């Protein structure tokens, strides 16, 4: 089945493409990828006014409700319809929507040609999939936009702010170190994006709400994994 490919890549697709390492064909953060991808969908819905996010308190997460007629993009609409049936906390939304996103998001990236996916057999027996850089301009453009914000302090466009905030919140901002040299200043700028410390107030609230949900979910999951292994 051919993947649905919207004219404009979703934030989730751009996030995964940034997390893709063209040097070794891996995606950073595998295993916990559903949190930032879910956060990307949440932020995209919020930026397009398809949801309302009630701010959370110190000990309680925010709440998300569906509004309007909803998006036409099938991937975004499926997430929106979850909220139409029942409002959720931001963390519950990530847990419900996130795990189903990796496959369809990657399919779209492959359909665009940004990543080439080749099926093969290891030792002639075991099926395996190899991913390589598609050679398009999309990832270099995204890296350039992130570099301008993280290194040179350029005021970010909303989508770039979302990407930076989610990379930071998920603990994967450092995975870009071969493209964007890692430093304390870069880490600090990422935290500023998480908090919504940039221009457009209404937009930054949506970004920071999604980033906060991702960050708290990653922290909670990491704590569970640590306690389980001890």
CATH of the domain at 59: 1.10.3630.10
Domain for residue 5, yes or no? no
Residue 93 has pLDDT above 60, yes or no: yes
Residue 102 lies in a domain: yes
Q: Which residue has the higher pLDDT, 58 or 109?
A: 109
Question: Is 73 within a domain?
Answer: yes
Domain that holds residue 65: 11-224
Counting the structural domains of the chain, the total is 1
Q: Both tokens of residue 141?
A: 């453009």
Task: Give the pair of three-digit tokens for residue 72.
Answer: 């036409």
pLDDT band at 38 (very low <50, low <70, confident <90, very high): very high
Digit-coded pLDDT (tens) for 143-169? 999 999 999 999 988 899 889 989 998
pTM: 0.89
Report the mean per-residue pLDDT for the chain.
86
Phi, psi of 52 (to 5 degrees): -115, 135
Within a domain: 45: yes
Percent of the chain whose predicted confidence (pLDDT) is above 90? 58
Q: How many CB atoms lie within 10 A of CB 91?
A: 20
Looking at the domain assignment, is residue 229 inside a domain?
Answer: no
Mean pLDDT of 99-107: 95
Asked whether residue 136 is domain-assigned, the answer is: yes
Provide the residue count of the chain.
230
pLDDT interval class at 194 (50, 70, 90) = confident
pLDDT range class, residue 55, cuts 50, 70, 90:
confident
- Using N-to-C axis directions, what is the helix angle for 138-150 and 158-169, rounded to 10°? 80
């Amino acid at each position: 089945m051919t993947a649905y490919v919207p004219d404009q890549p979703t934030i989730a697709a751009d996030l995964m493409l940034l997390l893709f390492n063209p040097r070794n064909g891996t995606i950073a953060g595998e295993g916990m990828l559903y949190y930032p991808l879910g956060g990307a969908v949440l932020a995209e819905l919020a930026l397009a006014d398809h949801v309302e996010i009630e701010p959370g308190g110190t000990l309680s997460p925010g709440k998300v409700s569906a509004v309007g007629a909803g998006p036409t993009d099938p991937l975004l609409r499926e997430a929106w319809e979850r909220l139409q049936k029942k409002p959720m906390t931001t963390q519950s939304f990530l847990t419900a929507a996130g795990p189903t996103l990796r496959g369809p998001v990657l399919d779209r990236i492959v359909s665009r040609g940004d990543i080439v996916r080749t099926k093969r057999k290891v030792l002639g027996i075991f099926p395996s999939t190899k991913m390589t850089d598609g050679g398009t301009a999309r990832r270099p453009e995204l890296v350039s936009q992130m570099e301008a914000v993280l290194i040179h302090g350029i005021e970010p466009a909303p989508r770039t702010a979302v990407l930076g905030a989610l990379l930071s919140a998920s603990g994967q901002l450092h995975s870009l170190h071969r493209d964007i040299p890692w430093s304390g200043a870069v880490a600090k700028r990422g935290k500023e994006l998480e908090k919504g410390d940039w221009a457009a107030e209404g937009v930054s609230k949506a970004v920071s709400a999604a980033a906060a949900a991702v960050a708290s979910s990653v922290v909670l999951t990491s704590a569970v994994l640590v306690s389980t292994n001890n």
